[in-house]
Each structure stands twice: as structure tokens, then as C-alpha cells.
Chain A
Amino acid sequence: MLSKTKFSVLDLETTGLDTKRDEIVSIAIIPMIGTKILVGRYYYSFLKPKKINAKSIKIHGIDIKILKNARSFVEISDEINEILKDTVVVGCDTGFDVEILRYEFSRINKKVELEWIDIIQIEKWLSERSGVRRDFTTLEQLVKKYKLEDIYRHSALADAYQAAQIFQFQLKKLLRLRVREKELLDIGKRRQEVVPLSIG
């Protein structure tokens, strides 16, 4: 039942865009059950990358001292796995985040299977259904569309929360359209042109 499905809204900050070579420097997860955001149960951690790339640190604005003293991925991998297990991962450009996460796990010889959906894809699907073709490609655009508060300092936690708020609205719409869980997974990944079974 989609209204009782467990979600993990995920956002990462990384040293770069290479899923195979770059590393995670901070990770934020906000759990949801259906449309309810469990704000108080958020998870947020900095991670110490093996290679600290000065250029990408500057982009995120993270203090190098914090990273140097942070735990490594190995140390938190169990916690992360526990949280994400049996949930559907939600995010903005989730594909990339899940990819890099999978790689981090594989580096420590752990295999994880993650179901995931992307709020950008969901938004595309929803706007097509309402007859409006609008190209949303970034979180900022979605934040504007849903009239959320402008946060001037971005962090994985703030971005994850904004993604959660957006997904809350989207999921409400999807529930009204009687979309089912399997259909949601397809919509969220854009595997194919999807028409929900319940719509005549």
C-alpha cells in the first residue's frame, strides 16, 4: 500500500561527479512513511574521504577540519544499510546518488540492492499527465514550483528535506490518482511510458 510504504529521502555531497572515483563527504537521510515525513528521525553524517579534494570541498563549503575528523564510510556502512533496508530511496537525481553509494559499498565488499525513484522524473510524469510539458531538471526549479522556502546555505540535510517536502506533495497527487507501488517505481525511474492501470 503506497500510503504505508517506507521511503528514505536521500541526499549526498560528494568530492565529484565520477561515480567510480569520487567519494561521499556527507550523507543525509530523512525517513518517510507514506506522505508523513519523520523529521525528527533524520540521519546526517559527514564522511572522511580517502582523498580530500580541495576543489570540491570549496564548492560544498564544508570545513576541511570536519572532514578530517569524520568517520569513514566503513564505519557507518552498517548504520546506512539498516536505515535504507526495505525502503524506497527518494531523491533528486537519485540515480547518481544510488550509483555512488553502491560503489562505496562494493569497495568494502558489501552488496546492496536499492529500489529508488527520482522526484524529477515523477514531476515530469505528473506535469505530462496534466497536459503541461515543463522541463524541470534541478532541485531549485522544483523548490520554486512548490513555493518552498529558499535556503541560502545548502547542505545534504537541507536538500534532503526540501526533496522530502516536494515528494510529499507529489505522493499526495499520486495517491489521488491511485497509482500503485510498482507503478511508482516505474514512474520514478522512467523505465517506460507508464499509464497507471486504474485510469480509464
Chain B
Amino acid sequence: MLPPIYYLKKLEPFSFLTEHELDEIVRGLESEIYEKGSIIFKKGGSPLRYLYLLKCGKVSLSDTHEETMGDGELFGVASVLSGNPPGFTAIAEEESVCYLIKRENFLNVFNSNPNFSDFFEKILSRRLTSLLRLSKISHGCEELYAASVIDLIAKEPVVCSLKTKIRDATIMMNEENVGSIIIVDEGKPLGIFTQKDLIRVIAEGISREEDIGKYMSSPVIEIDENGTVMEAYLLMVSRGINHLVVLSNGRIKGVISNRDILLRLESFSSLLSLSRKTITLKQKELKDVVSQILDFIEDMCVKINFSDISRIASGMYDLIIKKILMEKEEEFKISGGYCWIQTGGSGRMDTVLPEVMSVIILKKENKKIYEFIDEVSNALREIGFEIEVKNCYTLEGFRKFRILGKRLELYDSRFLYGDKELYLEFNKILKGKINRAIKFSAIRCLKESDEKSIVHGIRALSLEAGAFDIKNTEGRCRFIGKSTPTGREIIEAYNVIMDIDLRKKFAHKPKRIDEILLKESKKIVSEFKKFIKQRYAV
């Protein structure tokens, strides 16, 4: 009945609280108004006796950098939790009303409700991926809860005994076309041997005449046949494993892998069959395919992360483009002598929607393909792709380019179809100007903001490290990995920004956690820019 209770109930993390816990918070609740310019608390002052929630107005927190709080945001968390003086000064930028929650009441609830406390600890530890996962899990994947694991089992389990030779076990795996074999004793599973184990065996030079029992992983993680797909998924995630043995009354019924779970998710599996069909569809049916891909993306953008979506989408788009190229080649009687190269965002496979795709064409001297390329672009446009064929070069013409080092999108280019030799030559030419490309990437990194800044900066670093052939931003990040101070964080920030941007494109309502994520990401980007600035002296 008290208005603040209604307000808090809808606000994370207070929405996680029971009635009783919410009462506890309200017992310690006060509301204060601060006029513009007034200091709410000072950095280094006495440890805070309240946690602050900005109800309306604007508050800035200043330390070495400044941060602005908007409606519904909490501040003073670290000081309240640690009992230390606040690490920044809070000033009301405009007339603001704050809810003040007494420390004692807050701590009581913090200590009794794990979801509530998780929320705060996650903010403090700056683990963006866990925050992002939290925001995705709350959307739920209902299919995972409704189905039982028994539905996932497609084949009889492939089993062997402890004394089976590795050689024989792998022959069985090959014949049955499975990724794992279960070692059993009277129907009871003792261990599992997977493809990963096989790789290890070969790498370590272990003889295939050895008993498999010596090299299996055990114990094997089990799940009852009535367990839900979600339970199976959580088991796999929490143990870092890819296979589970399904038991029925203690006896082995089958094996499921993470791939089986993914296939269960309707969108995933229907997209798989869609991609198989694309090879056979006619051009006019492909428009439908694109709209189905977009539906899939919209469905998945709240469930899986951005880089997975973009890889899947790019894969589908590539299929379609290749298909059109093949068809038109027949029409125009073209065979070889050119190649189709995706550049920029689609070269990096960082685009998810078929927005403007930049393409360049390389061709052999005297090859007449303008009409053909025009026709291909039109056909793709009709399907829903926005293709921009930037240029059509011969290698000689390309070599003459003086501003090659500035055409950064070319350093993000990816061969899609045609004569690969031309592409390899093209790469050689690009490598000749690589130092300029690195320098210009660094300059662009500083000029741009957010995800664009990350893309340019990462390109500079990865080209410098010699990863010329990796075009994808996340792939590049992984390559340079530990050599940069913000290594892991920068790829997390990138995924967060792209993820939120994608949801915005689908006009999804932004969630409160998005603001926090975005804020953290921007901090990381600005640190990254400083690092690039220093390293390349720009």
C-alpha cells in the first residue's frame, strides 16, 4: 500500500525479495531531496550509513573519472558492504530525490537472500559475462524445462568393457558414428571415452593396444531419464563437460551431448534444416529464407550471445550468396576468372542483419563481368540483402592504389567464392602496406567510440601480432589474448555492446541491467583507447 513498496517491487534487485524481506528494507527506508549542486557524500568521508537509490534526478559520482547515475540506480554499494569510506564524491547534478536504505536493514536482507546479494557482488566484480548471462537466463528457455532427457536420445548407447582395446573402441565409435563410448560393467556405467580423449591419446603417443579402461574419464556424470533438458544443460555447464549418461533404473539407457540439447531448441534445429534446404531452393524462395533467419535472430538474441548469433547468421548468408552466384554463373556462362570478397563488417562476420554488405570483386584482365555482378547484386537485393559492390579490380589496378593502408575494411576482408588465387595475391598486396594499416587502425580507434573503437583497436593489435588471416573481432581478441592488459575484458565489452545494440534494433525494451552493462563496457573501452594511444603513439 505504501507507494515505495510498489516501486521497489518492480525494480531489480528488490524484485527478488520476499514480502518479509521487502518489509525489512522499508523499515530502514528514508527519502531525501537534494538540490542542484549539493554534495550527497564526499570521497574519503565517514563510511556510509545508507545505501542510496536515485529515485529521480541526476547524480554524478566522481573519482578519477566521472559517472552519471540515472533513475533507479544504486550507489554507495561498496562502502556500505565494506564499511570503508566511500571511494568517490556524489553530487546532485540537478534537484534529485534519493531513497536511503539504512545499512543495517540492507545488510540483513543481503545476508538472507542469495539472488539479491549476487546482484551486488556481480556489479562489484565487473564480470560482464556473468552479468550478461544473468540477463539472458531471466528470459528463460521454456523448451529446456518442458522436455525430459529421454527425448534427446537418438540411438542405442555404444558400450564396451574396461578391457576393450582403444583401437577397437574407436572402430566402434567410427562405425556407429558417435562422439563417445561408454565403458560399462554389467550395464553399469564406469566411465566415458570421447573424441577429446582420443585426441589426447594420440597426442601423447599412447598405444592403441592399451586398455581403454586406463584412459577413460571417470566417474561418468549421470542423469536420470526423467530429468529435464534444463537439468542436463546445467549439469554440463557446471561440470564443464559435453556428455551425460542417461540412466533408467540405474542402467544405461543412452548418452546425450550438448549438441543434442541445442538441437532440441526449436529455433536452432529449424534453422539447421533451413540451411540444408537452402541448397535446393529456387531464387524466389530465398526471400522467405532471409525472413526466417531474421526471426531466428530475434528469437535468439535474448538467449545466446552475440558472437554465436553472428557466426550462425553469417554462415547462412554466405550460403545464399554462393547459391545466387552459382545460378547466375550458369546464366551468364561465367566460369572462374574472378572472386567475390566480403569486406568490412560482413568480412569480419560481425554483422547479424543483412544490412549493407560491402563487397569487392577481383577479376582477371579482360574478364567481362560487370553485367553478371550487377545481376547478382540485384538478385540479392530482391531477397533482402543490401549489397554494395564497392569496386571491381584487377590485381594490377589494385597494386597501383596509393591509399591502400587506409582502406581498413580491406584488412577485414574474407574470401567467399570464386578464384582463390586472386584472393591470395590480393592478400600479399595488402600485407605490403600492413604498417600503415596498423597505424591507421590505431588512429581510427581513438576517433571512434564503443564497438567501432574496439574493432579498430583490435585490428591494430592483431595485425601487429601477425594474425593477418583472422578477421573476426572475437577471434582476433583470443589470438592476442594475454598480450594486452584488457584482453578478456575487451571482448566481453564488445559482446555486451553488440548484444544490446542488436536487441535495440529489434525494438526490444531495454532492461535495467543493460544500462549497468553498457556503463561498465564504456569504461573498459576508454581504458582500451588509452592503451592504444600509448602503444602506437597517436
Contact = CB atoms under 8 A, between A and B. Distances in A.
Nearest to B24: A40
A36 B35 contact: no
Contacts of A36: 30-32
Contact of A40 (B6, B29, B32): B29
Contacts of B29: 39-40
A172 interface: yes
A149 B31 contact: no
A165 B99 CA distance: 12
A194 interface: no
Interface in B1-39: 1-4, 6-7, 26-33, 35
B30 A39 contact: yes
Of listed A44, A157, A161, A176, residue having the most chain B CB within 10 A:
A161
Contacts of B4: 39, 161
B97 interface: yes
Contacts of A66: none
A168 interface: yes
Interface residues of B, number: 20
Given A40-B27, A168-B97, A158 B3 contact: yes
Interface in A1-54: 35-40, 42, 44
Contact of A35 (B3, B28, B33): B33
Contacts of A157: 1-2
A172 B37 CA distance: 14
A151 interface: yes
B63 interface: no
Interface residues of A, number: 22
Contact of B26 (A40, A164, A176): A40
B97 A39 contact: no
Contacts of A162: 3
B28 A40 contact: yes
A155 interface: yes
A38 B30 contact: yes
Interface string B90-110: 000001010100100100000
B30 A42 contact: no
Nearest to B99: A39
Interface in A165-196: 165, 168-169, 172, 176
A141 B148 CA distance: 57
Contacts of B1: 44, 153, 155, 157-158
B33 A168 contact: yes
Contacts of B31: 36-37, 39, 164-165, 168
A149 B71 CA distance: 14
Contacts of B2: 39, 42, 157-158, 161
B3 A40 contact: no
Interface string A140-160: 000000000101010101100
Contacts of A155: 1
Contacts of A153: 1
Given A39-B4, A42-B2, A172 B27 contact: no
B95 to A, nearest CB: 7
A149 B3 CA distance: 8
A151 B3 contact: yes
A172 B32 CA distance: 10
B30 A40 contact: yes
Contacts of B26: 39-40
Interface string B67-111: 000000000000000000000000000010101001001000000
A38 B27 CA distance: 9
A37 B55 CA distance: 13
Nearest to B56: A147
A149 B30 contact: no
Contacts of A168: 31, 33, 97
A161 B3 contact: yes
A37 to B, nearest CB: 4
Given A40-B26, A149-B7, A161-B4, A176 B35 contact: yes
Contacts of A151: 3, 6
A168 B31 CA distance: 9
A60 to B, nearest CB: 13
Contacts of B33: 35, 168-169, 172
Given A38-B30, A172-B95, 10 more contacts: A37-B31, A39-B31, A39-B99, A40-B26, A40-B105, A153-B1, A158-B3, A162-B3, A168-B31, A172-B35
Which 10 A-B pairs give the minimum distances between C-beta atoms? A37-B31, A39-B29, A40-B27, A40-B29, A36-B32, A35-B33, A157-B1, A161-B3, A168-B33, A172-B33
